[in-house]
Amino acid sequence: MTSVALLSHGSPDLRSAAAARDLSLAVGRRVPGLDVAAAFLQHNRPSLADTCRELKALGNGTVVVVPMLLAAAYHARVDVPEALAQAQQVSAGRIALAAPLGIDPALLDALDSRTAPGPVVLAAAATSQETARREIHDLAAIWSRRRGAPVEVAFVSLSTPSIATTAIGLANRTGHRVSVASFLLYPGRLHDHVVAQAGGRVVSPPLFDAIEVVDLALARARQALQSARADVNDGGGSGQRTSNIA
């Protein structure tokens, strides 16, 4: 059987870790009989290595690791491979790495359901990766076309343009009340910054408890498992069915 480890960054804020564990439970409920567990890169326990060991002890064959990261930036490029290498050293059996959750249009339904109609500021975590910033702006453009209303991006913790400044400018141009969409997965300090910087405007909650996040995590796991099977078949392996998420 196959199991899933949802690998989050982790945070000193205990609300974040609790939400990550709640998300793992929700993913498990979505596919009855599937073993799903949370793991963390930093700050919280268990580590990915510990989680993989625990899932293997339950009799699972392949563990599919899904990085619960909304941007394929530094953590996805550096921290995740390091954690995977450590897990492979201490855990016998196959570990398959899925693509990060990512800046995916599949999440727009969740954002829509959490924001009032009209113009919106899409508040995302700041990143030095140009590709990730461009993907956020592309997502905002897609969402704007779907909503039929302007969507502008502001990055949390960047002074220019701030969330409040972006919202004021958007309200002045449109003549409508502006809401703020938090493009963050978990509650914690970063989401608190969004609320503080919103200037009293309505801010949507983090996305961790949205069904779209649950389904996207499972989709990433299925894609990784299919790729792993293709590799086995190309190498002359049996390619046998081993998963209850196929």
Mean pLDDT of all residues belonging to the chain: 92
Instruction: Give the Cα separation of 197 and 162 in Å (integer).
Output: 7
* Nearest alpha-carbon partner for 139 in 165, 108, 110, 109: 108
Name which of 40-44, 154-158, 224-228, 237-241 the model is least confident about. 237-241
All CATH 3.40.50.1400 domain ranges of the chain, comma separated, are: 3-102+209-234, 115-197
Helix (H, G, I), strand (E, B) or coil at 196: helix
Question: Do the Cβ atoms of 153 and 124 come closer than 8 Å?
Answer: yes
What kind of fold does domain 115-197 have according to CATH?
A: Rossmann fold (3.40.50)
Could you please state the CATH topology (level 3) that the domain comprising 3-102+209-234 is classified under: Rossmann fold (3.40.50)
pLDDT (tens digit per residue) in 171-190: 999 999 999 999 999 999 99
pLDDT score of 148 more than 60: yes
Q: How far apart are CA 212 and CA 216, in angstroms?
A: 6
Enumerate residues 6+ apart whose C-beta is below 8 A from 165. 154
Which residues lie closer than 8 Å to 236 by C-beta, 6 or more apart? none
CA distance 232 to 96: 12
Residue 238's pLDDT band, with cuts at 50, 70 and 90, is very low
